[in-house]
Amino acid sequence: MAEVTFEVVVKYLVQERSYPSQLENPMTEEEMLFLGKGLVVNYDDLSIDKVGKDGEIKISWNAETDKFDYVAKKWEGYEQYLQNGSSIRGKQHHIENVFELGLPVVFKRIAKLRKEKLIENLTNQAIKDDIFNAFEHSYEPYAFQVDPGFFFPRLKNEPDYFIRPCSKETKTWLLEMRKRKKFVFLMTSSNADFAKYILSKIFVDEKTGQPENYWKYFDICLADARKPYFFTMDSEFYTLKQDYADAPTSRLATDRWFSQGNHKTLVEFFKSHLKWSQHKQLEVCYFGDSSKSDVLSARKVASWYPVYLLEELNLKTGGTLDEADEKILSNGPWETVPLEETPLYQEAFKHAALVTPMIESISSLPLDHKFTEKIFIS
């Protein structure tokens, strides 16, 4: 997936902004090692930093020299990151999810084009604007239906390459939760049309290969949740019309899709549906793979119990990883600062109730299993 999100940017730069064509050549194995979560890309000078858990930049890649520096200095976005998990907007990009993962190689290739005097007239501001526009072009809310950009068309053409069906154990786990009167909800920042497409690919009948009715597994589904703002703002919920927000509503219902919204209204709905005492604390467990969007605000603002899905933990077991995955998830030239020593990991570990590679790592366990450590690797 990281290779595709890299293509989203470089194909836009070449085909829509007339950058040199070699920019969109496939990523090499060496370049894959240049990727990693916890990196900070800087738009002012196109440098890339790896920050330690104390907020100091431990290693920095210089775009002009194409070399690494090891002089420690304070990361200017550190205090802001501790507050809400974000970097300095418009100036830096702290990489923490797969959709951003290809940016370091984009920077590295642009630096090479500059050195070869092929894009001399482009300022860093212009490059930043073009990169931002590349993301917007491919990931706008309506993009899944009309297929602009390069992400959704590629995904639709090769779904089996990118999407793996849920295991039988995970489906049984979800059904068992509902059987025990747990309220199971799906919440995503993706638009409903894309979310429904993914659901049709991951919930399939093992015998026929046909999509199952995903409502067997969920009580309610929420799209376009706009995390972390779902936790930090009081946005209204919306009903949907043809998978897009239609009318604001304060009344939620089971077996239906809604969009946007906020955690307070959702929890009140949970309490009402479960006939929960208003004076009794309701415990909400939420699974997500974004430290900023799924863990920090969910815990610090909503007092939920987030489970952080950190795919890199698979490196410790080798499970479910192919050779390309291992290269992308490894630290490569950034190995002097392993992921465990970054603010990304430290803050997620601090605020998560559990850290595990993926849902399938725990779905074979009994629902009443007691975890004795915060990190669980099956």
E strands, the chain, are: 39-42, 48-51, 56-62, 67-69, 73-74, 92-94, 185-187, 220-223, 237-241, 244-249, 257-260, 285-288, 305-309, 354-356
Indicate whether 258 and 313 sit together in one domain: yes
pLDDT, residue 322, reads: 56
Does pTM top 0.95 for this prediction?
no
Separation of first and last alpha carbons in the chain: 24
User: Which residue, of 159, 187, 202, is where some domain finishes?
Assistant: 159
> Both tokens of residue 6?
């890299």
Indicate whether 116 and 241 sit together in one domain: no
Indicate whether 194 and 135 sit together in one domain: no
Indicate whether 140 and 197 sit together in one domain: no
Report the CATH number at residue 328. Answer: 3.40.50
Helix (H, G, I), strand (E, B) or coil at 260: strand
User: Which residue, of 125, 159, 193, is where some domain finishes?
Assistant: 159
Residue 368 lies in a domain: no
Residue 57 lies in a domain: yes
Count of the separate structural domains present in the chain:
2
What pLDDT, in 10s, does the model give residues 325-353? Answer: 555 656 678 988 988 999 999 999 999 99
Indicate whether 183 and 329 sit together in one domain: yes
Pair 356, 310: CB distance under 8 Å: yes
What pLDDT, in 10s, does the model give residues 165-188? Answer: 999 999 999 999 999 999 999 999
Residue 370 lies in a domain: no
pLDDT, residue 312, reads: 85
Indicate whether 152 and 180 sit together in one domain: no
Indicate whether 141 and 240 sit together in one domain: no
* C-alpha distances out from residue 198 to 164, 183, 242, Å: 10, 21, 17
Given a cut of 50, the residues of the chain with pLDDT beneath it are: none
Indicate whether 25 and 105 sit together in one domain: yes
User: Which residue, of 93, 125, 159, is where some domain finishes?
Assistant: 159
pLDDT, residue 375, reads: 94
Domain around 117: 2-159
Residue 210 lies in a domain: yes
